[in-house]
């Protein structure tokens, strides 16, 4: 990658970090609405499949933490110190012993095949290079491990997808969330092997389990 391109990607990431640092105190309040409408149930069902040493990528304020089975040993990373601070408080409130680290999902400072389960939710919309992040998830996951994803993207109902397309730039300005992406395409491009996929909420949300094949 040439130097200018690398610098501009770093600038985009810095912008995302600043946005989430500012938004952190409001995140749980705003996300409480989709959680109430059904996303919490999707989180709970997906995370029941986690086991062993778990890495959660871009953990945010730790909304998934309460849903992990008790036998999981969790490490969680995020780019935003303010989001991580809330996750830390949540973990302590829940009595969970979790290792938190500030790290870029697209360049994990973690050895290959370190985790039994890698989890990420509502993140591929935000990463500048979601395929790079998925490749990193695959790299740090054991070959017989699981990658669990809960993502949102462009609806498969054309009328809704077109509406998302029209509003996408405006929406992305707020938190860098590109809501008309195609998470399944990223999974395939990254070379992950889907084991199960489910689409819900007007085809916007994806619940996915993959292996790092």
Stretch that binds ligand SAM, among 53-61, 68-76, 183-191, 198-206 (CB under 6 A): 53-61
Helix (H, G, I), strand (E, B) or coil at 161: helix
CB of 117 to ligand SAM, least distance (A): 15
Sign, Cα dihedral of 137, 141, 144, 147:
negative
Binding letters toward ligand SAM, positions 151-180, x by CB under 6 A: ------------------------------
- By the rule CB under 6 A, 20 interacts with ligand SAM: yes
Among 50, 54, 58, 137, binds ligand SAM (CB under 6 A): 58
CA 53, CA 56: separation in Å to the nearest integer?
Answer: 10
- By the rule CB under 6 A, 78 interacts with ligand SAM: yes
CB 100 within 8 A of CB 60: no
Count of residues that bind ligand SAM according to CB under 6 A: 21
**Radius of gyration over alpha carbons of the chain, in Å?**
16
Q: Taking CB positions, which residue lies at the least distance from ligand SAM?
A: 60
CB of 101 to ligand SAM, least distance (A): 10
CA 162, CA 71: separation in Å to the nearest integer?
Answer: 43
CB 71 within 8 A of CB 53: no
Among 42, 46, 60, 90, binds ligand SAM (CB under 6 A): 60
CB 118 within 8 A of CB 147: yes
- By the rule CB under 6 A, 117 interacts with ligand SAM: no
CA 136, CA 127: separation in Å to the nearest integer?
Answer: 12
Binding site for ligand SAM (CB under 6 A): 13, 16, 20, 31, 58-60, 63-64, 78-80, 83, 104-106, 121-123, 126-127
């Amino acid at each position: 990658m040439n130097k200018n391109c690398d610098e501009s990607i770093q600038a985009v990431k810095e912008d995302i970090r600043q946005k989430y640092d500012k938004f952190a105190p409001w995140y749980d309040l705003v996300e409480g609405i989709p959680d109430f409408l059904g996303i919490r149930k999707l989180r709970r069902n997906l995370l029941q499949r986690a086991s062993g040493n778990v890495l959660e990528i871009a953990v945010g304020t730790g909304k998934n933490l309460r849903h992990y089975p008790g036998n999981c040993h969790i490490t969680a990373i995020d780019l935003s110190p303010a989001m991580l601070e809330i996750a830390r408080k949540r973990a302590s409130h829940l009595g969970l012993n979790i290792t938190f680290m500030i790290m870029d999902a697209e360049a994990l400072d973690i050895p290959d095949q370190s985790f039994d389960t890698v989890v990420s939710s509502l993140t591929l919309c935000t990463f500048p290079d979601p395929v790079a992040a998925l490749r990193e998830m695959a790299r740090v996951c054991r070959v017989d491990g699981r990658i669990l994803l809960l993502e949102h993207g462009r609806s498969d109902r054309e009328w809704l997808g077109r509406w998302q397309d029209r509003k996408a730039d405006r929406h992305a300005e707020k938190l860098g969330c590109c809501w008309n992406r195609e998470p399944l395409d990223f999974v395939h491009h990254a070379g992950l092997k889907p084991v199960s996929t489910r689409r819900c909420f007007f085809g916007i949300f994806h619940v996915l389990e993959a292996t790092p094949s």
